[in-house]
Amino acid sequence: MGTLYQANCPCGFKQIDLLQGYGVNHSDTSYEIYQCESCHMLVNYELSQQIDTLFKPIRCPECKEALIHLAGEVDQQQHPCPECKKDTLSLSVVGLWD
């Protein structure tokens, strides 16, 4: 079971369809949410095996900086916004998927 998140910021920035977790029919594939250290872009990565995270460096597609893994209760935290750069971006659960 995975969780579907949506990111919202009071400045108007919005990003939908952020997946986290495993699908029931794809137990070897998981989705993880990352955020760029530099431009704060949100990136949704599909990891086919855990080994990918160890050996494949995950970089921002925009600026090639390192990405921070957003793990755990991501909807309980505030995140920097890619648009206004303030720590006012929040993720909310919009559904479950499998």
Q: Whose Cβ is closer to Zn ion: residue 12's or residue 95's?
A: 12
Quote the radius of gyration of the chain (alpha carbons, Å): 13
CB-nearer residue toward Zn ion: 41 or 47 = 41
Q: Are 21 and 1 spatial neighbours (Cβ–Cβ below 8 Å)?
A: yes
Is 2 or 60 the residue whose CB approaches Zn ion more closely? 60
Minimum gap (Å) between residue 13 Cβ and Zn ion? 4
Q: What's CA 28's distance to the chain center, in Å? A: 18
End-to-end CA distance of the chain: 5
In angstroms, the CA 32 to CA 18 distance is: 8
Please state, in angstroms and rounded to a whole number, the distance separating the CA atoms of residues 76 and 59: 25
Q: Which is nearer to Zn ion, 13 or 45 (CB)?
A: 13
**Nearest distance from residue 62's CB to Zn ion, in Å?**
4
Binding site for Zn ion (CB under 5 A): 9, 11, 13, 36, 38-39, 41, 60, 62-63, 65, 81, 83-84
CB of 91 to Zn ion, least distance (A): 13
